[in-house]
Structure 1
């Protein structure tokens, strides 16, 4: 298809002619004269280099090429309809929230408090240690460990974060190391020798192993203190302390569904010592 010669307007007229089976009926749908439609269909065939219709007294009958084009265009038309349709009555708007492993776990525990009663927002949690691009709408809300500095972003400080070692009663005093590019994992790598219980690649697995009594995990205190099967087995680590910020796009924060999610997240996270 020559994109410079074929416009969607001509393809829309083709759909009308193909569905109505003739120029006169299609002209009423397309609101143009049959003569204009006939010229446009001939120009479309020449632009595509295909014969789309068999023209006879009974109307315009599609050729095999025309039937293939009709099927392709109907698929495109359906996709455009799905992409641009208004939300159905009662459909909850989607809000994407990105956070690190530990904050995501806390948010999942408080899911009912965030979606509302009755639920009026649909949440998508994106658990990622990397920082997603809010300016390009990779996420609507990000929980981060520093104040936003990029133009167009707004932030609200929630709490301070501290990390400490946690273990189950009777567990060996051996670290569970995490092979990841996070501040806590890098601290373990720099300060813990070879006397470790094991290593994992996902931070969440260090919590699972600590709960199973396999060693000590380095956890944010808001998470470790909430685990009935764990207790602190050491002091907090000053160099891992940081702030927690809720970050949004300056424009998107005024959307009703985003505003509701922000207010609820602040109630869930601000009163406690949070983590990211």
Structure 2
């Protein structure tokens, strides 16, 4: 390949498509049309004589050669930005984290420990019970209730999560039912049925109601035990016990800012150790 054939702006656009996981999302960040980005990616592949993407209806997935190029370009980009930035212009890198209601709540209480002192990363928490797509870069780090199975994912095993019923002393012996697509909500549905004090669609509301003395909430023990006003009203529900995993992309985990975030998140959750593919 002749360097004169390479359009260096295509490499910048390649990074956007690779990080955003597709043309539509990259079009917003680059202010180019999806059609233009598609043509530029084809042109880049022809110039490099490499297949960089596997194209699906749901987005663009990097090939092995595409991942290698992304890692190399990300390192170059970081060096250029550091050389070009003055101290007051340096922007902290953004790390997007997805977790369920309860893990998000626990992490927010330790925010300073994760962002650093002084802060050297920015965090965007996306609290969602559904699993967001890490290969398509919907998030950089995700918390899961099972070991990652995707070939491009790396996971670190954290704590075991257990659930138990909690209430304040003297509260009515009636369940607060959560309507959500989670194992704990499905257990409540099977166990309580329609015989509940009330129903809420946000898991966090069940904690608020339990603290207000309105009834019994099914909570993770790492949340319930941390509330001095609450007491366990029964044993842990064994069928809901599971390991928690921190998951990220194989490529992203080597970026310095992601590495820092992972190490700090694991310290907060008391489980050190290297990620395993």
Q: TM-score, normalization: structure 1?
A: 0.67
Q: Which residue of the partner structure matches residue 246 of structure 1?
A: 246
Q: Which residue of the partner structure matches residue 137 of structure 1?
A: 137
Q: In 1, are the aligned partners of 2:207 and 2:217 still within 8 Å (CA)?
A: yes
Is the aligned partner of 1:214 residue 2:230?
no
Unaligned runs of 5+ in 2: 1-27, 33-76, 273-277
Unaligned runs of 5+ in 1: 1-75
Q: Which residue of the partner structure matches residue 116 of structure 1?
A: 116
The CA RMSD measured in Å over matched residues stands at 2.2
Aligned pairs for 1:1-276 (under 5 A) are 86=81, 89-271=89-271
Alpha-carbon distance in structure 2 between the residues aligned to 1:125 and 1:257: 16
**Displacement of 1:86:** 4.9
After superposition, give the CA deviation of every residue in 1:216-251 in whole Å (9 maximum; x if it has no partner). 000000000001211111100000000000000000
Alpha-carbon distance in structure 2 between the residues aligned to 1:193 and 1:200: 14
**Displacement of 1:172:** 0.6
Alpha-carbon distance in structure 1 between the residues aligned to 2:151 and 2:133: 12
Q: In 1, are the aligned partners of 2:157 and 2:271 still within 8 Å (CA)?
A: no
**Displacement of 1:210:** 0.5
**Displacement of 1:168:** 1.0
Moved over 6 A (4+): none
Q: Which residue of the partner structure matches residue 69 of structure 2?
A: none
Alpha-carbon distance in structure 2 between the residues aligned to 1:271 and 1:173: 36
SS in structure 1 at match of 2:91 = coil
Q: In 1, are the aligned partners of 2:165 and 2:218 still within 8 Å (CA)?
A: yes
After superposition, give the CA deviation of every residue in 1:168-216 in whole Å (9 maximum; x if it has no partner). 1111110000111110000000011433110001111111101111100
**Displacement of 1:79:** 5.2
Q: In 1, are the aligned partners of 2:167 and 2:216 still within 8 Å (CA)?
A: yes
Alpha-carbon distance in structure 2 between the residues aligned to 1:99 and 1:229: 25
Alpha-carbon distance in structure 2 between the residues aligned to 1:98 and 1:193: 30
Q: Which residue of the partner structure matches residue 69 of structure 1?
A: none
**Displacement of 1:90:** 2.6
Alpha-carbon distance in structure 1 between the residues aligned to 2:118 and 2:107: 18
